[in-house]
């Protein structure tokens, strides 16, 4: 059986940079190292719905279920080109005012935008607003485990992309998502809207916090 657009599938994968084979994301490292015991939950995604990088998603269409594939995603279809203009110079004194000691590689939230500390020198700090993988061609080893057909499993797979520890309860056409802690109030209407668009059979979506 081959996959097609709009199929919901369960996958395991390892993602790495092609230049130095540095692993940046994975669900199961045994895919590339049989002696490894590092695993996280598998991912359930819907093909053609931007659940994955565009250059990876398209390559998983028309593939055999049960097989493992070696795939290459160029940076133009991953995190884009690195833009040298997306850097900012800030005085070290500004960080000191907020009792922050910047270190190279540290992530900083600047007015709601995440930046990475690129250099700290001579009382100056250069922040880089590019994605850490911008400009890098990526490799993926992906195993397509199975097609997911149960509605509850499909919903749970989508929700876990945003809230990994949430539990799902489905009764008739109403779904309740229970989170271990309160989530950002701005996320709730987005999740509710996306669920109803993706699963038109749903009539009610409720997001609750575990008491």
Give the model's confidence band at 162: pLDDT under 50 very low, under 70 low, under 90 confident, else very high: confident
Specify the pLDDT at position 170.
Answer: 92
- Give the CATH number of domain 1-80+133-148: 3.10.50.40
Specify the pLDDT at position 183.
Answer: 84
Assign 3-class secondary structure to the chain. CECCCCCEEEEEEEEEECCCCCEEEECEHHHCCCCCCCECCCEEEECCCCCCCHHHHHHHCCCECCCEEEEEECHHHCCCCCCCCCEEEEEHHHHHHCCCCCCCCCEEEECCEEEEEEEEECCEEEEECCCCCCCCCEEEEEEEEEECCCHHHHHHHHHHHHCCCCEEEEECCEEEEEECCCCCCCHHHHHHHHHHHHCCCCCEEEEEECC
> What burial letters (b/e) apply to 120-132, b meaning 16+ CB within 10 Å?
beeeebbbbbbbe
Specify the pLDDT at position 24.
Answer: 93
pLDDT in tens, 5-38: 999 999 999 999 999 999 999 998 887 777 677 7
- Give the CATH number of domain 87-128: 2.40.10.330
Specify the pLDDT at position 112.
Answer: 79
Whole-prediction pTM value? 0.83
pLDDT in tens, 57-111: 999 999 999 999 999 999 999 999 999 999 999 999 998 888 889 999 999 888 7
What are the structural domain ranges in the chain? 1-80+133-148, 87-128, 150-211
The fold for domain 150-211 equals Alpha-Beta Plaits (3.30.70)
pLDDT in tens, 97-151: 888 899 999 998 887 788 999 999 989 999 999 999 999 999 999 999 999 999 9
């Amino acid at each position: 059986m081959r996959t097609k657009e709009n199929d919901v599938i369960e996958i395991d994968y390892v993602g790495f940079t092609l230049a130095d084979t540095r692993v940046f994301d994975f669900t199961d490292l045994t895919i590339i190292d049989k002696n490894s015991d590092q695993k996280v939950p598998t991912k359930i995604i819907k093909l053609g719905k931007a659940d994955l990088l565009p250059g990876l998603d398209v390559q998983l269409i028309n593939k055999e279920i049960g097989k493992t594939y070696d795939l290459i995603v160029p940076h133009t279809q991953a995190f884009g080109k690195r833009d040298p203009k997306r850097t900012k110079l800030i005085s070290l004194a500004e960080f000191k005012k907020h009792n922050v000691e910047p270190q190279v590689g540290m992530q900083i939230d600047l007015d709601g935008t995440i930046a990475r500390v690129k250099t700290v020198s001579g009382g100056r700090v250069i922040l880089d607003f590019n994605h850490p993988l911008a400009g890098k061609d990526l490799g993926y080893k992906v195993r397509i485990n199975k097609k997911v057909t149960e509605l509850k499993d499909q919903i749970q797979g989508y929700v876990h992309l945003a809230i990994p520890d949430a539990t799902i309860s489905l009764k008739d056409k109403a779904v309740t998502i229970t989170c271990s802690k309160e989530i950002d109030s701005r996320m709730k209407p987005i999740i509710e809207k996306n669920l109803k668009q993706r699963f038109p059979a749903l009539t009610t979506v409720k997001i609750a916090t575990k008491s």
